[in-house]
Amino acid sequence: MTDFAISPELRELRDRVAAFVREIVIPAEARDTTGHGLDDGLRAELQQAARAAGLFAPTVAAEYGGLGLDHRAQAVVLEEAGYSLLGPQALNCAAPDEGNLHLLARVADAAQRERYLRPLAEGRMRSCFAMTEPAPGAGSDPSMLRTEARRVDGGWSISGRKWFITGAEGAAFTICMARTSEQIEAGRGATMLLVDADNPGMRIERIVDAIDRSFPGGHAEVVFDDCRVGDDAVLGEVGEGYRYAQVRLAPARLTHCMRWLGIARRALDTALDRAAEREAFGARLGDLGMVQEKIARSVIDIETSRLLIARCAWVLDQGRSGGRESSIAKAHVAEAVDRVVDRAVQICGALGISGDTQLARYLAEVRPFRIYDGPTETHHWSIARRTLRERAAARAEATA
Amino acid sequence: MTDFAISPELRELRDRVAAFVREIVIPAEARDTTGHGLDDGLRAELQQAARAAGLFAPTVAAEYGGLGLDHRAQAVVLEEAGYSLLGPQALNCAAPDEGNLHLLARVADAAQRERYLRPLAEGRMRSCFAMTEPAPGAGSDPSMLRTEARRVDGGWSISGRKWFITGAEGAAFTICMARTSEQIEAGRGATMLLVDADNPGMRIERIVDAIDRSFPGGHAEVVFDDCRVGDDAVLGEVGEGYRYAQVRLAPARLTHCMRWLGIARRALDTALDRAAEREAFGARLGDLGMVQEKIARSVIDIETSRLLIARCAWVLDQGRSGGRESSIAKAHVAEAVDRVVDRAVQICGALGISGDTQLARYLAEVRPFRIYDGPTETHHWSIARRTLRERAAARAEATA
Amino acid sequence: MTDFAISPELRELRDRVAAFVREIVIPAEARDTTGHGLDDGLRAELQQAARAAGLFAPTVAAEYGGLGLDHRAQAVVLEEAGYSLLGPQALNCAAPDEGNLHLLARVADAAQRERYLRPLAEGRMRSCFAMTEPAPGAGSDPSMLRTEARRVDGGWSISGRKWFITGAEGAAFTICMARTSEQIEAGRGATMLLVDADNPGMRIERIVDAIDRSFPGGHAEVVFDDCRVGDDAVLGEVGEGYRYAQVRLAPARLTHCMRWLGIARRALDTALDRAAEREAFGARLGDLGMVQEKIARSVIDIETSRLLIARCAWVLDQGRSGGRESSIAKAHVAEAVDRVVDRAVQICGALGISGDTQLARYLAEVRPFRIYDGPTETHHWSIARRTLRERAAARAEATA
Amino acid sequence: MTDFAISPELRELRDRVAAFVREIVIPAEARDTTGHGLDDGLRAELQQAARAAGLFAPTVAAEYGGLGLDHRAQAVVLEEAGYSLLGPQALNCAAPDEGNLHLLARVADAAQRERYLRPLAEGRMRSCFAMTEPAPGAGSDPSMLRTEARRVDGGWSISGRKWFITGAEGAAFTICMARTSEQIEAGRGATMLLVDADNPGMRIERIVDAIDRSFPGGHAEVVFDDCRVGDDAVLGEVGEGYRYAQVRLAPARLTHCMRWLGIARRALDTALDRAAEREAFGARLGDLGMVQEKIARSVIDIETSRLLIARCAWVLDQGRSGGRESSIAKAHVAEAVDRVVDRAVQICGALGISGDTQLARYLAEVRPFRIYDGPTETHHWSIARRTLRERAAARAEATA
C-alpha cells in the first residue's frame, strides 16, 4: 500500500550524509577553483573522507565495495549528497561514472568487471560514455548515429566523432556507441565498445567551452579514427547497444534528477537565509508577498520533483524499465530545478548574480540539464505519444 | 519504505468504481440539465445504483453503512468517482457533505450522530457548512469572523451573514461557525452550531449566481437573525470551533483535490480522443508538436497532483494534521487542474467551448477551486511562512 | 517619425465614448439578462442613444452614416466602447457586423451596397459570416472547406454545413463561403455568396451551447441544402472568396482585439476597486505583494496589447495587408486579455466567481477568443514560418 | 497621430549601423577573450572604425561630437548596435558611460563638462556611477543609503562602501551618490560628487565575480574612506542627488532595454539559423511545432519590447519624465529578453550551452538585467501602486 515512510536505517544514513556534506564537503567548496570540475587531489581527499565515514559508493553493490542501495534509497541519499556540487564526487555517485557503474554491473562480463567496474567503483579511475554526436549525427534522435565500428581482423575499427562527452579528459576508459549495421532498426544495429584511454585511435580534439563547470574533465569532443579494439572490448552482445543504453538510461537520468534536486534545495535554503536577513522597503524580504510567492512555488517544485523521483525509483525497484516514469520525472525535474535556482537568484538580487554565493554558479550548472539526457521537448513528445497510444488502447478495450 | 503499490483489493474496488462511472454515471450526464446541481430524483436514482453496486459512501465508517476507506484508499476511489461531475454525488462523497461527515464522525456526540451523521451517511439528507462571510467578514482570513452567537436562556442566538454556503438550499441542517467571545485568539473563541433547516431564524437570502453549477443547491447567501438553538446544537465544545474546522479542513480540502483530479483526467481524455481523430494542416492533431506539448504538460500536472494527494493522504493516515501537505497539495492541484482543463479546451478548439462536450462546463467548475478552500495566494503565503520558519529552526539547530 | 500622440479631436471623441459608456451603457447592463446576446429592444434603444450622441457606426464611411474613422482611430474608440460588453452593440461596431461592413464596403457592387451595406450600417439589420465548418471541414485550416456551390441554371446551389456562425439567428443575410472548384489552390477556388435569411435552402439547425453569451443570436449550426441563389448573390468575383476573406480577416481580427482590450481594462478596474477596499490579513488587498504583482502584470499585458493593436492599425492605414502584424496582435491580445480577466477574478476572490460583478461573465466571454479567428497555436505556427522564411531571405541577401 | 514610420534618414542610419555591426563588429567578437569586458586596444580600434563610419556617440549632442539623436532615434540605433555585445562599446553608447553622458549633459557646469563630459563623449576615458551598496545599504530601496559625505574644510569627505559599480576598474572618474543630510526625505538629502580615479580616498576593493562579462572593468566593490573632494566636485546642487538620479534613471534604463533587445534579436536569429539547418526525428527543427511555438513567442516578446521602448522614448522626447513608461518597459523587456535567449538556447540544444555560439554567453549577460536598474519585482510594485493611485483618482473624478 502507498507508503512514504523512510526506514530508521535509511533516515540515519541520510542524516549522516547530510552531516558529511555540511561538515566536510561544503567547507571544501572554496577550494574548488579550477573552473573545470573538481581538481583530482581534492576529489581524492573528499572520497577518502567519504570512505572513512562509510558513505562511499552508495549505488554500487556490496561485492564491489558499495552500499548497495536500491533506487528508492538512492533517491534519498543522492539528493542529500547533491546539496553540494562536490557531494556526488565525494561519494562516487556522480555522472557519468555512476551510470557507467550501473551499466557495467548489468552487462559486462567477468573480465570486464574486474578490469573496469571494480576500479571505477573504488574511485581509482574515471570513465566516460560516448554517445552524443555533433550535427548531423545523433543528438536527441539516436537513429542518426554516424560513428561506425567495422569488423576487422581480431576485432573492430571505430571511426566517427562524438561531442559533449562528459569526463573524457582524464577518463581511464570510454564506452563508445557505434553502428555495426547499415540499418538501425527496431533498436538493433549499434554496439557498445570499451576503449582504453591510451588507444592511439581515439583523441580528444577539444574541451567544449560549456557553461557548466562541475564535471571533472568537462565535456569533450572526441574523434575516433580507425580506432582498433579487440573482441573483448564489446560490451554485451554485438548489435544490442541501444538495448543496453536503455538499461543505463532511466536509472542514470533519475540519479541526475536526485542530485540536481539537492542543488535546488541548496538554492532555496540560500534564498531563505537571505530573505530572513535582508530588509527592503521597511520589511524583511521574507515578509514581502512577491518573495513569499517565489518561495512557495519553489517548495512545490521541490516536493513534486521529489515525489516523481521516488515513484520512478519504486518502479525501477520493481524491476520495470521505468521509461515512462523517468521521462516524466526528467522533464519535470529539469525545468523545476531551473526555476528554483532562478527564483533564488532573483530573491538574492545582486548577491545572486555575484560569485559571493554559489547561486550564480548553479544557474550555469542546472541550465544544461534541460537539454542533456533528452531535452524537455523530446520528453514531452515521448510522453504525449505514449499517452495517446495508451488512451487509444484503453478505449479499444472499453468498447471491445 | 516508500511504496506506490495499490493492494489487489483496492485495485479491484477502483476498477469497479471506474466501471460504474463509465456504465451508469456518464450515461446519466445528459439528464443533468437543471443548471444548479443534480436534480434530487436523478441523485437518488444514482445513489441507489451505487448502493446496489456496493460503492456507496466510501469515506464513511462501516457502522454508518460506508466502506470505511482510509485516506489513501479514498484518494484512489474519489479520483475515479470524480471522472464524472455526478460520480461523487452518486457515491455520496461530494462536498460539502463528505467534509461534514468527517467532522461529525470526529466531533459530534452520540445524539448528534444519530440525528445528523447517520441520515447524512445514508444519503437521506444533505447538509451545509456555513463559515465564509461576505466582506468585511471572514473570507480567506478567519480572524475577521463577524457572525456571532450570544448566550440566551437555554441556548444561543446566532446573528450574522454568510455567503457562498454550498448546498444550503435543500440542506436538512447547517453547521454554522460563530464567534462566542469578544476576541478570537490563538484559535479560540468561535463555536460550531448545528441549525436545522426549519429554524425560523435562518433564511436563505439568495442563491449566488456563481459560475459553477455542479453543487446541489448552489452557493447561498444565508442570514442568521436572532436564530435560536439549544445547547444540544453545540458541536463539540464552546469556543473550539476553529480547532474543529482544522479537523475538517485538511481532509475536506484533500477530497476536493481527489475529485477534481478525476475531472482533469476526464478533460485530458476528451482532448486525447479529439487529438486522435481530428486532422488539420495535413496531420492528426495528436501529431502536432504544440498539441503534444499540451498533452505532456497535462500528464505531468496530473501525475504531480496525484502524488501530492497520495503523500498528504498518507500523512493523514499516520494521524498527523497534514496542514503543510494539504496546503501544498491544494495550491498545486487547483492550479494544475485548471491548466489541464484549459489545455483540453484549447486542443478541442471550437468544440471545446461549445456544449457538445463537457469541457466548457469543466472550465466553469474548476475555476472556483483556485479560490475556495483558501485561494492559491493564501496557501502560498502559508507555505512560505512555514518554510522560512522551519529553515530558521534548522539553522539554529545546526549551529547549536 | 514614431508618434504616439492622439489628436485633440480623437481624444475628445474618445472621452465622449467613455462618458457614453459610463453614463448610458453600463447602467443598462443590468437589463441584459436574456443570456444569449442583447435583447433586440434594448439594442435598438442603446443604438438610438449612440446616434443621438453622434457616436454611431465609427468604422463606417460617412456616406453610409458612420464616423469614417481610420484604423488607428478605431483602435482608440473601439477599446473605449469595449469597456462594456454592450458598448460595441450600442455603437454598431460589434462582430460580426463590423467585419461584414468592412468587407461589403470593399467588395460589394452598387446594388449589394444598397441592399445590404446601407441597412446594416444603419443598424436596421444584422448579418452573419458563414465560413467555419465542423470536423472534418474547415476549422483553423481553410483548405478543408467542404461546403460547395454548384453552378445551376441562373445561379448557384449551395450545400454544406457550417457551425459557430455567430449571429445567424436573427441575421437578415449571411455571407457564405463555398468551394466553387474541385481544387482550392493558391487561395483560389472558393466564392462568397450572399444568402437572405428567408431562403428556404438555408436553415439554422441549432444554437451551439457555447460559453460566451454576448453575441446576439449566439453561434448557430447552419445547414445549406440545395440552397439556391442568383448570380447577383456572388460577392465580388467567383473563385476569389479567400482573397476577400483576407480583406476582412486582418481588420476584423484587429477590431476584436480592440473591443476585448476594453473588457480587459474593465476587469482590471474592477479588481483595482476591490483591492482598494477589501482588507485581509491586516492589510488592504492592494498592499499585498501577490496582488500587486497581478496588477502590474495586467498593466503590462494591457499596454503591450494596445501597442500591438496600434501598430497593426497603422500598417492597415498604410494600405498594407497587415497579415503579420494582425497575427502577432491576435495571438498576444487574446492570451493577454484572458490572463488579465483571470487575474482580476483571482484578486476579487469569491466575488470574482459570483454574478455580483461582471468578472465571472468576462471569463466565459474572453476564453473563446483564444480559439476563434485562429487559435493561438495557428497564429504561432504562422508567425514562426514567416519568421523563418524572412530570416532565410535576409541571410541570403546579406551573403549575396 | 499615432505613427510608426521611420524617416528615410533614420532608416539609412540604422542600415549603416547594421552593416557596421555585421561587417566590422561581429568579426571582432572572436578577439574578445579577456573574460572581463572588452580589452582596451580592441575597444579603441572599434571606436576608431565607428568614428570613421560616422556612427560614433549616437546619444551625444553634436557640440560634443555625437550624432545628437533623440530618444526615438536612439531606440532604433542602439537596438541595432546591441546586435553584438561589442556594438555599444564601438559606438560609445554602452552603460554606464552612456547614462553618465546623459546626466552630465543635463546637470554638469561648464567646467565639469569640459573636464568630464567632453573626453567621455570622445571615448578618451571611461566612467562609473556609484550608487548601489551592499546590504544593509541601498539596494533596490534608495532610502537605505549609507555612504555619507561630510562637510570639511574646502569641500567634502566621503565615506562608505559601494558594490556592483560597473566599470569602476579603469574609469577615469566616478559619480558617487552620498547622503549629505541626516534624513533623506521627499527625495532630498543626497548629493552626487565627482571623484577622480587617482583620489587616494577611494579604492577598488575587489571585482565582484559576477556572471556577466561584457562590461569593461566588470563590477567593482569600492570603498570611500575619508575621500576628500573639493566643492567643484559637487554635481548640480547639494542635496539634490536623487533628483538628478531620476534624470539619469529613465533614459539609462531605456537604453539598456534598447541594447539588450539587440541581443534578443541576435539570439533569435541564431536559433532561426539552427532551426533551418538542423534535422531531428525526420524533420527540420523549424518544422517542429514545439520549436515553432518558441520562435513565435520570441517574436512576440521582441515586438512588444520594441513597442514599449518606442513609446517610452516618445514620452521622453516630449520632455516628460517617463517614470511610468520606463518602469513598464524595463519590467517587460528584461523578462522578455531573458526568455528569448533561454528559448534560443533550448532550440540549439547542446550547441546552445557550448561556447560554439554566443548564446551561452548571452544567458549570463542578460540574466542580471532582471535585477539591476530595479529588479522586476520592484518595478511591479511601483507599477501597481501607481495604477491603484491613478484608478482611485479617476473614480474620485468620475463621481465628483
What chain B holds in terms of domains, given with CATH numbers, is: 8-121 (1.10.540.10), 127-239 (2.40.110.10), 243-399 (1.20.140.10)
Angle at D380 between CA D376 and CA D383, to 5 degrees: 135
Q: For residue B140, what pLDDT is reported?
A: 63
Q: What is the 3-state secondary structure (H, E, C) of chain B?
A: CCECCCCHHHHHHHHHHHHHHHHHHHHHHHHCCCCCCCCHHHHHHHHHHHHHCCCCCCCCCHHHCCCCCCHHHHHHHHHHHCCCCCHHHHCCCCCCHHHHHHHHHHHCCHHHHHHHHHHHHCCCCCEEEECCCCCCCCCCCHHHCCCEEEEECCEEEEEEEEEEEECCCCCCEEEEEEECCCCCECCECEEEEEEECCCCCEEEEEEECCCCCCCCCCEEEEEEEEEEEEHHHEECCCCEHHHHHHHHHHHHHHHHHHHHHHHHHHHHHHHHHHHHHCEECCEEHHHCHHHHHHHHHHHHHHHHHHHHHHHHHHHHHCCCCCHHHHHHHHHHHHHHHHHHHHHHHHHHCHHHHCCCCCHHHHHHHHHHHHCCCCCHHHHHHHHHHHHHHHHHHHHHHHHC
Query: How far is residue D344's CA from residue B167's CA, in Å, rounded to a whole number?
Result: 51
Q: For residue C88, what pLDDT is reported?
A: 98
Distance (Å) of CA A320 to CA A111, A243, C227: 28, 14, 62
* Residue D1 three-state SS: coil
Q: Does A345 touch chain D (CB under 8 A)?
A: yes
Angle at B281 between CA B280 and CA B284, to 5 degrees: 45
Q: Which of D141, D355, D367 sits opposite A353 (nearest CB)?
A: D367
Contact A272 B391 (CB under 8 A): yes
Query: How far is residue A218's CA from residue A199's CA, in Å, rounded to a whole number?
Result: 20
Low-confidence ranges of chain B (pLDDT < 50): none
DSSP letter (8 states) at residue D245: H
Mean pLDDT in residue range A26-39 = 85
Distance (Å) of CA D218 to CA B174, D35, D126, D256: 67, 9, 12, 16
All residues at 6 or more sequence positions from D89 whose CB lies less than 8 Å from its CB, including other chains: D38, D43, D46, D47, D216
E strand or H helix that includes residue D254: helix D241-277
pLDDT at C36 over 90: no
E strand or H helix that includes residue A173: strand A173-179
Contact D293 C384 (CB under 8 A): yes
Mean pLDDT in residue range C67-84 = 98
Residues 286-315 of C with CB under 8 A from A: 288-293
Size of interface A-C (CB pairs under 8 A): 17
- Closest by CA to B57, choosing from B77, B79, B82, B42, is B77
Q: For residue C268, what pLDDT is reported?
A: 98
Phi, psi torsion values for C382, nearest 5 degrees: -65, -40
* Contact residues, chain B, for A316 at CB < 8 Å: none
Mean pLDDT in residue range A298-313 = 98
Other C-beta atoms within 10 Å of B309: how many?
28
Residue % of chain A over a pLDDT of 70:
100
Q: For residue D197, what pLDDT is reported?
A: 97
Q: For residue B65, what pLDDT is reported?
A: 95
Contact D355 A135 (CB under 8 A): no
* Contact residues, chain B, for C370 at CB < 8 Å: 346
List residues bridging with A162 in a β-sheet. A222
Q: For residue B186, what pLDDT is reported?
A: 77
Q: For residue A183, what pLDDT is reported?
A: 84
Q: Which of D1, D304, D391 sits opposite C5 (nearest CB)?
A: D1
Q: Which of C208, C279, C346 sits opposite B375 (nearest CB)?
A: C346
List residues bridging with D229 in a β-sheet. D156
Do the beta carbons of residue D175 and residue D192 sit within 8 Å?
A: yes
Q: For residue A135, what pLDDT is reported?
A: 82
Give per-residue pLDDT as tens, B119-155: 999 999 999 999 999 888 877 677 789 999 999 998 9
Q: Which of D3, D273, D296 sits opposite C384 (nearest CB)?
A: D296
Gap from B134 CA to chain D (nearest CA, Å): 23
The DSSP bridge pattern shows strands D219-230 and D202-208 to be antiparallel
Lookup: cell for A149:
565500428
pLDDT at C139 over 80: no
E strand or H helix that includes residue D128: strand D127-130
CA C76 to chain centre: 15
* Contact residues, chain A, for C290 at CB < 8 Å: 289-290, 292-293
Closest residue, chain C, to A283 (C-alpha): C289
Give per-residue pLDDT as tens, C205-250: 999 999 999 999 999 999 999 999 999 999 999 999 999 998 898 9
In order, the DSSP letters of D303-316 are HHHHHHHHHHHHHH
List residues bridging with A150 in a β-sheet. A157
Lookup: cell for D197:
580615479
Q: For residue C18, what pLDDT is reported?
A: 98
List residues bridging with C220 in a β-sheet. C165, C207
* Contact residues, chain D, for B291 at CB < 8 Å: 289
Task: Place A109 in a pLDDT band, splitting at 50, 70 and 90.
Answer: very high
- Amino acid (1-letter code) at residue A154: G
Do the beta carbons of residue A46 and residue A88 sit within 8 Å?
A: no
Residues 122-141 of B with CB under 8 A from C: 132, 134-136, 139-141
Distance (Å) of CA A375 to CA A245, B51, D142: 17, 49, 42
Lookup: cell for C241:
472568396
Task: Place C397 in a pLDDT band, splitting at 50, 70 and 90.
Answer: confident
Lookup: cell for A252:
542514470
Give per-residue pLDDT as tens, C251-261: 999 999 999 99
* Contact residues, chain B, for C212 at CB < 8 Å: 353
E strand or H helix that includes residue A225: strand A219-230
Size of interface A-D (CB pairs under 8 A): 123
* Contact residues, chain D, for B290 at CB < 8 Å: 289-290, 292-293
Q: Does C377 touch chain D (CB under 8 A)?
A: yes
Query: How far is residue C399's CA from residue D15's CA, in Å, rounded to a whole number?
Result: 15
- State if pTM tops 0.80: yes
Contact A135 D351 (CB under 8 A): yes
- Amino acid (1-letter code) at residue A386: R
Residue B267 C-beta-side C-alpha neighbours within 13 Å: 35
Query: How far is residue B340's CA from residue B270's CA, in Å, rounded to a whole number?
Result: 11
DSSP letter (8 states) at residue D357: S
In order, the DSSP letters of A45-113 are HHHHHHHHTT-S-TTS-GGGTS----HHHHHHHHHHHTTSTTHHHHTT--TTHHHHHHHHHHH--HHHI
Q: Does A7 touch chain D (CB under 8 A)?
A: no
Query: How far is residue C68's CA from residue D307's CA, in Å, rounded to a whole number?
Result: 27
Q: Which of C208, C281, C351 sits opposite B354 (nearest CB)?
A: C208
Is residue C251 reached through a cis peptide bond, with omega within 30 degrees of 0 on the bond before it? no
Q: Does A380 touch chain D (CB under 8 A)?
A: yes
Query: Higher pLDDT residue, C271 or A154?
Result: C271
Contact D384 C291 (CB under 8 A): yes
Query: How far is residue B71's CA from residue B313's CA, in Å, rounded to a whole number?
Result: 5
Query: How far is residue B151's CA from residue B256's CA, in Å, rounded to a whole number?
Result: 35
E strand or H helix that includes residue D202: strand D202-208
Contact B295 A384 (CB under 8 A): yes
Query: Higher pLDDT residue, C140 or B277?
Result: B277
* Contact residues, chain D, for C269 at CB < 8 Å: 391
Low-confidence ranges of chain D (pLDDT < 50): none
Q: For residue D400, what pLDDT is reported?
A: 72
- Closest by CA to D157, choosing from D195, D113, D203, is D195
Q: For residue C140, what pLDDT is reported?
A: 63
Query: How far is residue A256's CA from residue A218's CA, in Å, rounded to a whole number?
Result: 16
pLDDT at A140 over 70: no
In order, the DSSP letters of A265-321 are HHHHHHHHHHHHH-EETTEEGGGSHHHHHHHHHHHHHHHHHHHHHHHHHHHHHTT--
Do the beta carbons of residue D120 and residue D100 sit within 8 Å?
A: yes
Rounded to a whole number of angstroms, the CA Rg of chain D reads 22
Q: Does B385 touch chain A (CB under 8 A)?
A: yes
Q: Which of D364, D375, D381 sits opposite A349 (nearest CB)?
A: D375
Task: Name residue, grid cell 466531533.
Answer: B107
DSSP E strands: which ranges in C51-199?
127-130, 148-152, 155-166, 173-179, 190-196
pLDDT at C142 over 80: no
